[in-house]
Structure 1
Amino acid sequence: MTKDAIVLGAGIVGVSTAIHLQRRGRQVILVDRKAPGKETSFGNAGLIQREGVVPYGFPQQFGLLLRYAFNNRIDAHYHLRALPGQIAFLARYWWNSNTRRHEMISRAYAPLIEHSISEHNDLIEASHADELIRKNGWMEIFRTDEKRDAEFAEAERLNREFGIAYDALTGADIASLEPHIRGSFSGGLRWRDPWSVLDPHGLIAAYRAYFESIGGLFATGDAVSLGRSGSQWKMVTAEGSIEAEDVVVALGPWADLVTKRFGYAFPLGVKRGYHMHYAAEDNAILNNWTLDAERGYLLAPMSRGIRLTTGAEFALRDAPKTPIQLDRAEAVARTIFPLGERLDPEPWMGARPCTPDMMPIIGKAPRHDGLWFAFGHAHHGLTLGPVTGRVLAELITGEKPFIDISAYAPDRFAP
């Protein structure tokens, strides 16, 4: 079988890229070892984070680093045996998170975030997935005046510099918006611009169905079978052997399974995360996606139930699950909201692919024609899938990308 393009990885980035290539007249096959959206894209907070212009940095304050070292928090956890292999990545991540570098990175990152809603909306409308979307933002709640005041100041800066809209909430406002949340909170923020997704996997399934409706093909296959055959790329799938002029690596945390085989050593780290769904007791209702900011977990009213998501776990990508953060988060969450029984047979775990400069890798492989990269989106994979798919498809088909993507070029790591 001959196609114009192979897209490896059927998460949100890969599906979006496949759609945009197919729309531009390319015959595309989307390949994954699992069904679309079954890996990292399956489990997340379900937020399209238009407000997320500042990527998650590494803590700089010595006192906070010391507290993390005790390894007893919800927002971050680490496997001691994994640290030796991650020291180089973490050191670069820490350096890029200093105030000056972080500000520069945020300004380079902002154009992707700026178009996250509009590019999702394009695919939502095309795939008739409107019933999966809420357009009323999300909420952070604060336990202390110190945290509240610092976050209010940061929200005002984001509004001033990037046009991010927000509402500052009092404790009474929180009680009005969320009558079933218990406890005393000093205030909160409601980010107005983001959208939320009731079923992230369902959204990707809708995008996949749209891709197939415009002539695209999905096949199961293992990316490690990819090789060069003359001027073509070739691999084996359940549909048979496939050749194509272009291949896109959108494999998230598994990108290195392909990139290393062709001589690229990207400094790709992994932040693992967990989620669990719960019933609500006594007909309690959660209206908003809600982050308990000081504790570092989020509650989201999903289609399946109330999803509790954790922060970051620094561990080897394929190490067994250690849902310690989930247990810690559940214990705290039960004190502020009447969570009922667990609805999933076991905690879900996924791995977020991260670069030390907190920006994704998008563009042409420096030393290979027809090889393209789209991975490393960290916490914003769902948010940035469609905009990444569009700019990469534009680049592949010879169009000028509608935003400047030079800051995300692969050769910043692999000359």
Structure 2
Amino acid sequence: MDFDAIVLGGGIVGTSVAVHLQRCGVKVALVDRRAPGNETSLGNAGIIQREGVYPYAFPRDLASLARYAGNRATDVRYHPSAMPKLMPFLFRYWHHSRADRHADIAKTYSTLIEHSVSEHRELIEAANAQSLLRTNGWLNAFRTNRAFELALAEASRWREEYGIPFEALSNDALHRAEPSLGPSLLAAIRYTSADSVSDPSALVAAYAKLFEKLGGTVCIGDASTFGPGWKVSTELGVITAKQAVLALGPWSGDLTSKLGYRLPLEVKRGYHMHYASKSGATLNQPVLDAEIGYVLTPMARGIRLTTGVELGYRDTPKTPVQLDAVEPFARETFPLGERLDAEPWLGRRPCTPDMMPVIGPAPRHANLWFAFGHAHHGLTLGPITGRIIADLMTGEMPLVDPSPFRADRF
């Protein structure tokens, strides 16, 4: 079972890497413990955020810090027992979030974001997955005029700096666009250049089928058995390859630590639940209730409610108090019916303190490549990350300069 390359991780990033490598004539094995698209990539809000040039920063104003310190905010919660371990990471995150540093990060980050929609659309067409795609943007909605005006100023700055288009929707325009929304939302900004999908897991599965159609091999395997060689144990036996890519999302740190790297990787946990709609109510696009901190998205299974951030250990059991806290607001916003899932889904977003992913060669191992740490934008940046890694591995000029995302920047 010899391959040219092993890709560890069957999420949106790893699967995109595998597709692009296979297209280049590289014989690839895509390895994960579950079928592609059934871990972190399953549970997001389904938005391909072309407008997301500024990655999510750590709050620095005293009012926000005081609000979060009380641990009763609806958009961010934390586990007190995890704070001693997380504080060094959070301090570095806070450091990089200063306005001037955040602006510099955006200049680099935007080089990835600008290709997010175009790279997805190309793979979606190749995978014949057009039925999953919505091209009508998404709504950032507000309960107060003050919050709306502040967000409008920010959107205007993004348009001036990066050409990000948007539409400002008054109360009437918002409720014409989404008649089923309740009166608590007063106005919205619609980011028109973004896309969304009705089933993120099905999208990854479609990309995986494209990968297999191109001649690639999907294997169920145990990434913890990965080691120099490069080799890993799978249901097909031990497979080996000349090159390997680590794209294990929130579990990437387990292997990089085993190989001697000390990368600053942590996770932001989050939850989702699906609901039926009452009385024929419909939702046409994702809607962020910005001041409460949750997203409602129309999905194949129903209306998906996704929460904000829970800070804690990666493998701590579920504590979905945040979901319970925002659900009453969501029911006020949209006529949600019964819960459709037996229990809330818990996901883990892999994060770095400078808010940028790790993309490129492993500093101390030949023929080993890293592709992880995409935080809130894993779905958004999967295909462009896959293309960059494939270009680097095959000696082609990458579409985007990968040097700012190198692992040895820390």
- TM-score normalised by structure 1 residue count: 0.98
Letter in 1 for 2:274: H
Aligned residue in 2 for 1:57: 57
Aligned residue in 2 for 1:6: 6
Which whole-Å CA distance do the structure 1 matches of 2:237 and 2:350 have between them?
A: 30
Aligned residue in 2 for 1:359: 356
1:344 aligns with 2:341: yes
Aligned residue in 2 for 1:181: 181
Secondary structure in 2 aligned to 1:282? coil
Letter in 1 for 2:24: R
Letter in 1 for 2:57: G
Which whole-Å CA distance do the structure 1 matches of 2:264 and 2:28 have between them?
A: 29
| 1:227-306 correspondence runs (5 A) | 227-228=227-228, 232-306=229-303
Q: CA RMSD in A?
A: 0.8
Offset at residue 184 of structure 1 (A):
4.1
Which whole-Å CA distance do the structure 2 matches of 1:175 and 1:362 have between them?
A: 41
Aligned residue in 1 for 2:21: 21
Which whole-Å CA distance do the structure 2 matches of 1:83 and 1:376 have between them?
A: 20
Aligned residue in 1 for 2:366: 369
Letter in 2 for 1:241: V
Aligned residue in 1 for 2:217: 217
1:334 aligns with 2:331: yes
Which whole-Å CA distance do the structure 2 matches of 1:164 and 1:216 have between them?
A: 37
Offset at residue 74 of structure 1 (A):
1.7
Which whole-Å CA distance do the structure 1 matches of 2:189 and 2:226 have between them?
A: 47
Which whole-Å CA distance do the structure 1 matches of 2:256 and 2:389 have between them?
A: 17
Which whole-Å CA distance do the structure 2 matches of 1:70 and 1:86 have between them?
A: 17
The superposition leaves residues 207-260 of structure 1 with CA deviations (integer Å, 9 ceiling, x where unpaired) of: 0000000000011111111112xxx31121111111111000000010012101
Which whole-Å CA distance do the structure 1 matches of 2:323 and 2:185 have between them?
A: 22
Matched length: 410
Aligned residue in 1 for 2:95: 95
Which whole-Å CA distance do the structure 2 matches of 1:184 and 1:21 have between them?
A: 48
Aligned residue in 2 for 1:403: 400
Which whole-Å CA distance do the structure 2 matches of 1:379 and 1:319 have between them?
A: 20
Which whole-Å CA distance do the structure 2 matches of 1:3 and 1:378 have between them?
A: 30
1:195 aligns with 2:195: yes
1:318 aligns with 2:328: no
Which whole-Å CA distance do the structure 2 matches of 1:91 and 1:347 have between them?
A: 30
Letter in 2 for 1:329: V
Which whole-Å CA distance do the structure 1 matches of 2:185 and 2:2 have between them?
A: 59
Letter in 1 for 2:307: T
Aligned residue in 2 for 1:391: 388
Which whole-Å CA distance do the structure 1 matches of 2:200 and 2:399 have between them?
A: 26
Letter in 2 for 1:188: A
- TM-score normalised by structure 2 residue count: 0.99
Letter in 1 for 2:332: T
The superposition leaves residues 67-101 of structure 1 with CA deviations (integer Å, 9 ceiling, x where unpaired) of: 01111122101000011110110000000000010
Which whole-Å CA distance do the structure 2 matches of 1:280 and 1:85 have between them?
A: 41
Unaligned runs of 5+ in 1: none
Secondary structure in 2 aligned to 1:152? helix
8 A Cα contact 1:5 1:28, kept in partner = yes
After superposing the two structures, state which structure 1 stretch, 178-187 or 14-23, moved more.
178-187
Letter in 2 for 1:26: V
Secondary structure in 2 aligned to 1:105? helix
Which whole-Å CA distance do the structure 2 matches of 1:381 and 1:198 have between them?
A: 16
Which whole-Å CA distance do the structure 2 matches of 1:184 and 1:291 have between them?
A: 13
Aligned residue in 1 for 2:85: 85
Which whole-Å CA distance do the structure 1 matches of 2:279 and 2:4 have between them?
A: 55
Letter in 1 for 2:29: I
Offset at residue 321 of structure 1 (A):
0.2
Aligned residue in 2 for 1:379: 376
Unaligned runs of 5+ in 2: none
Secondary structure in 1 aligned to 2:330? helix
Which whole-Å CA distance do the structure 1 matches of 2:338 and 2:309 have between them?
A: 24
8 A Cα contact 2:184 2:333, kept in partner = no
Secondary structure in 1 aligned to 2:354? coil
The superposition leaves residues 134-168 of structure 1 with CA deviations (integer Å, 9 ceiling, x where unpaired) of: 00000011111111111111111111111111001
Offset at residue 110 of structure 1 (A):
0.2
Aligned residue in 2 for 1:35: 35
Which whole-Å CA distance do the structure 1 matches of 2:334 and 2:187 have between them?
A: 17
Which whole-Å CA distance do the structure 2 matches of 1:402 and 1:301 have between them?
A: 33
Offset at residue 186 of structure 1 (A):
3.4
Offset at residue 29 of structure 1 (A):
0.0
8 A Cα contact 1:171 1:184, kept in partner = no
